Copies of this chain bind each other. A is one copy, B any other.
């Protein structure tokens, strides 16, 4: 049972988000008689005209505001013993389906779909490569935006516009973490004014028209070389990011790539300052499988795409992060971001 979101976009090319009116792809497991069917509010049916539903053999079943869409799903699905629901399905629909199938065990569909989604085909890799090039063009223009005397919010607004100018349909996130704000990994922007000597974390990305995302972080110094202690910690971080990228190849675990980043940072006494996992898969979602995190024994295969983004965060002081998207190749990986990884002074 797949409601709107990136799973449905992956399967049918259908865009849009879930809302209170049920849209649901009912996809029987192999061996069942019923064809796949898309249950959709009648007023949205005209919007399906461009989708390859006939080609895929997907039947359209419409419903109106005074009908019960869960009953329609129940008629279509017959008497299943298990039901997988999209990981992102809102609870309101999860429970609507649970109540119409009270005897049916509900599980996540994610474990099935991720086996498809996390292995990118060449077309998907080409989209991720184009997204990487687009966000690299934005980083190449950072000197236009990031200047002493401007607020993070002003810098961020310019970056958001540049993300669109360089080919994305929008800015999915714009982090401008200057000075002490850089110590908060998921800071976005604030009214803080950029000062001479600030270290600034810039983590930005968005979707191309295809829906595939960019995501790239660089750390800049503004107007002056940073203090020696900052440069020393940054050098450790840069070495850790290189080591982690160098560890990526088919046959190794996701956890081992995380460890390759974490070990040199820990050895330098900064382990407690690296407060997040090393990376996340990327594709139609900004964050998807595989996660590059301690304990993840998933074995990497060609076509898997994810971020490698260690960071260090000094409370009240400053932060730094370096992030590239990589795709696993036959014997290593391809980096999709190629801007300099040094602590560039603007």
Contacts and interface: CB of A to CB of B under 8 A. Distances in A.
Interface string A182-193: 011111100000
Contact of A90 (B88, B107, B287): B88
Nearest to A181: B46
Interface in A253-271: none
The bracket for how many chain A residues form the interface is 35 or more
A224 to B, nearest CB: 25
A32 interface: no
Interface in A306-327: none
B108 A65 contact: no
A111 to B, nearest CB: 11
Contact of A184 (B46, B86, B88, B275): B46
A215 B19 CA distance: 16
A65 B294 contact: yes
Interface string A1-42: 000000000000000000110000000000000000000011
A226 interface: no
Interface stretch (A91-99, A128-136, A138-146): A91-99
Nearest to A19: B287
Nearest to A294: B66
Given A275-B64, A277-B65, A287-B19, A46 B187 contact: yes
Interface string A275-298: 111000000000100000111000
Interface in A82-140: 85-92, 94-95, 106-108, 110
A274 to B, nearest CB: 10
A330 interface: no
Nearest to A315: B46
Among A19, A86, A89, A186, find the residue whose CB has the most chain B CB atoms closer than 10 A. Answer: A186
Contacts of A277: 65
Contacts of A228: none
Interface of A: 19-20, 41-44, 46-47, 64-66, 85-92, 94-95, 106-108, 110, 183-188, 275-277, 287, 293-295
Q: 5 smallest A-B Cβ distances: which pairs? A: A46-B184, A87-B92, A43-B185, A65-B277, A89-B91
8 contacts: A19-B287, A41-B186, A43-B184, A47-B184, A66-B294, A66-B295, A86-B91, A95-B106
